[in-house]
Amino acid sequence: MKILLINQVFVSPEEPGHTRHFEMGQYLKERGHELVIVASDLNYQTGRRTVERHGLYAEQIFDGVRVLRSYIYPAIHRSYFWRVIAFFSFMFSSILTALRLKDVDLVLGTTPPIFQAVSAWVVAAVRRKPFLLEVRDLWPEFGISMGVLTNPIVIALSRWLELFLYKRATHILVNSPAYREYMLAKGIPEKKVTYIPYGTDVDMFNPSIDGLPIRRELKLEDKFVVLYAGALGQANDIDTLLRAAERLKKEESISFVLFGDGKERARLESEANRMGLCNVIFAGTRPKKDMPLIVASADACLAILQDIPAFRTTYPNKVFDYMAAGRASIIVIDGITRELIETSRGGVYVHPADDAMLAQKILELAQNPKRVKEIGANAREYLVKNLDRRDKLNETLSLLKKLVKD
């Protein structure tokens, strides 16, 4: 099979961010199939160009995975108005790039941003090929819940576009059981929606990795390190993390390390300086290939989102990586992620936006290293058994074969 994926925020191993689609491309290649990815020429975390284009697109090959870098207007870290302009620019350029490809068997669209899913639908319709829609987050539901979308007309149009794509997709793939229930409540037939969680690479993230080089680099050899790895955006409630760090300023053995970038980074760094947080380090971005070493440098790892109902339906990918690495997770997200961490006994739960509780849980863990080790071992055991990415990619391959055959 030859699968075409349109994904504006695709990340190679050389960039910061989640590389799930790259790993999917490798997996398919090993089994005699091909995944060709049309991506933007900007990294979504840093907002910087990833390649120089000379023409409509630039072609890259990563370990046999072919990526066509198409144009996007460089404004994803500006206002939401300009972000939408950027999304539209990629929507049109990606259609032109994708239509250059020959002999495609299936078109895979992914959302958010939802506009790139429109690109995939257009290409699939022109080529008369199956259109698989992958829903990674609920849009516009998240935007409405966060207060990003407030105009009634814009909200109505967004909901119309969402339902338009759901109805026209040949099939819908979701990475959260709550997303599936959301689809069914909107009248999408049960047989049209498949739930497959992403999981993680249990070999890449391994408890045997020694994170001491990162600790030495950051001068944290003798600290209890709480790691946050990921985007620094509006959805990620890093302000609560900073308030918890402020409560723990006198605990000199505890340090917070944030690896990542995003629209809010400059403001957050300024706020941390204003609060005098010597226990917080903004460590910048690293390519995904460095993340196993970074996670291994931590004693406990943090996942945190704003306190809005919509986020109770989502699985942050970073949590799977934390668990595979055998690290205790501190989950400041209610809903299915809380259920995962409590079922696996692989972490502790903190009420969203509760900086006092967060500080207290971190202090308790720092004072009980034996418990931290036990929690991490529980997390690893559960993930290997239930969320090995190889198993999940095998389920995805079976779905792709079925859609192409039908």
Average confidence (pLDDT) over 34-63: 87
Q: What is the pLDDT of residues 277-288, one digit of tens each?
A: 999 999 998 988
Structure token pair of residue 206: 């391994």
Q: How many CB atoms lie within 10 A of CB 49?
A: 15
Backbone φ and ψ for 40, nearest 5 degrees, come out as -80, 165
Give buried/exposed letters for 132-145 (b at 16+ CB in 10 A, else e): bbbbbbbbbbbbbb
Q: What is the pLDDT of residues 340-374, one digit of tens each?
A: 999 999 999 999 999 999 999 999 999 999 999 99
| pLDDT recorded at residue 50 | 83
Beta strand 57-62 pairing with 65-70: antiparallel
**Residue 255: strand pairing partners:** 225
| Domains of the chain (ranges, CATH numbers) | 2-199+388-405 (3.40.50.2000), 212-386 (3.40.50.2000)
Average confidence (pLDDT) over 116-126: 97
Q: What is the pLDDT of residues 230-258, one digit of tens each?
A: 999 889 999 999 999 999 999 999 999 99
Rg (CA), the chain: 21
**Residue 171: strand pairing partners:** 132
Does the structure show a pLDDT above 80 at 323?
Answer: yes
CB 206 within 8 A of CB 324: yes
Strands ordered across the beta sheet of 224-229: 280-284, 254-259, 224-229, 300-304, 328-332, 347-349
| pLDDT recorded at residue 176 | 94
CB 383 within 8 A of CB 323: yes
Q: What is the DSSP string of 150-213?
A: --HHHHHHHHHHHHHHHHH-SEEEESSHHHHHHHHHTT--GGGEEE----B-TTTS-TT---HH
Beta strand 171-174 pairing with 131-135: parallel
DSSP 346: -
Q: What is the DSSP string of 15-43?
A: SSS--HHHHHHHHHHHTT-EEEEEEESB-
At residue 200's C-alpha, the angle toward residues 198 and 202, to 5°, is: 150
Distance CA 281, CA 98 (A): 41
What's the one-letter identity of residue 379? A
pTM, two decimals, is 0.90
pLDDT band at 53 (very low <50, low <70, confident <90, very high): confident
| pLDDT recorded at residue 19 | 87
Beta strand 2-6 pairing with 34-40: parallel
For the chain, count helices (H), then strands (E).
15, 14
Please state whether 343 falls in left (phi above 0), alpha (psi between -120 and 50) or beta.
alpha
The residue that leads in pLDDT, 314 or 45, is 314
Q: What is the DSSP string of 86-127?
A: HHHHHHHHHHHHHTT--S-SEEEEEESSHHHHHHHHHHHHHH
Q: What are the Cα distances from residue 254, in Å, to 210, 220, 257, 281?
A: 19, 9, 10, 12
| pLDDT recorded at residue 147 | 84
Does the structure show a pLDDT above 90 at 74?
Answer: no
